[in-house]
Amino acid sequence: MAHARQARSWPLLLIAAPAAVAVWSGWVGLGSLCGFGPVTLLPGIGGVTVNTAITLPIGVEAYGSFALYAWLASGASDVTRTFARRSAFGALALGCTGQVIYDLLAAAHMTRAPWLVVVL
């Protein structure tokens, strides 16, 4: 009896890498327009400067990825999978909305995001 051939997942990295770069730059750009920026951690002690705009892509995209994994992984209860599915779609919608907002603000050559965007 022949064994079923398992699909390789490494080609997905080739597809995902350019998308990740575009998403990362959009979120960091939106964060910068909303007032996120460089912060020195532990000032006066020789702290490290970190750009806090990176918290947006890390938070939103990592949450979306984890929710997608929880939804598609086997062994979870129906309640868990339903919550994870809704979370994954919610994170995807939030990510799409954030990218569109950044693109519109960049196209309008705005240097600061309106207050409503900052609040959202």
Cβ contact 117:34 at 8 Å: yes
Query: How far, in Å, CA of 17 to CA of 85, rounded?
Result: 24
What single string gives the DSSP state of each residue in 57-90? HHHHHHHHHHHHHHHHSTT--HHHHHHHHHHHHH
pTM above 0.85, yes or no: no
DSSP single-letter state for residue 54 = G
User: What letter represents residue 76's amino acid?
Assistant: A
Q: Tens of pLDDT along the chain (120 residues)? A: 556 666 677 777 787 788 888 888 888 999 999 999 999 888 878 778 988 998 888 888 889 888 988 898 878 889 999 999 999 999 989 888 988 999 999 999 999 999 999 998
Q: Which residue bears the tokens 């990592």?
A: 62
Outline where DSSP puts E strands in the chain: 38-40, 49-51
